[in-house]
Amino acid sequence: MARPAVRRDRLAALDGLRFLAALAVVLFHFVGQTPWSMITIWGRPYRSTFPEAHAYFAYGRLGVDLFFLISGFVICMSAWGRTPRDFFISRV
């Protein structure tokens, strides 16, 4: 079976940043929840279960903003050098 062609215009750094943003959101949901969310793990609040990690992973909520920022840039980048018709077709 033939492998699909690799696109040469992809930016690997953006793919890596999108992965890190998604991972930050996952870790936020697992470790970084805030006290008012009332979510517990194994019957104890996140903050007492992961006291050191909680302070860092609480910023994982910013991963959503980073992910959408990168996605918006990628959509704009996909329009470069295309007619509006070609861009529309590529998005559909």
pTM: 0.68
Q: Please give the tally of structural domains in the chain.
A: 1
pLDDT average, residue stretch 36-55: 70
Quick one: pLDDT band at residue 66, thresholds 50, 70, 90? very high
Residue 41 sits at φ, ψ, to 5 deg, of -125, 125
Task: Decide if 60 is inside a domain.
Answer: yes
Task: Decide if 43 is inside a domain.
Answer: yes
Residue 44 sits at φ, ψ, to 5 deg, of -130, 150
Residue 14 sits at φ, ψ, to 5 deg, of -70, -40
Domain containing 29 equals 12-67
Q: Is the pLDDT of residue 50 over 90?
A: no
What percentage of the chain carries pLDDT values higher than 70? 80
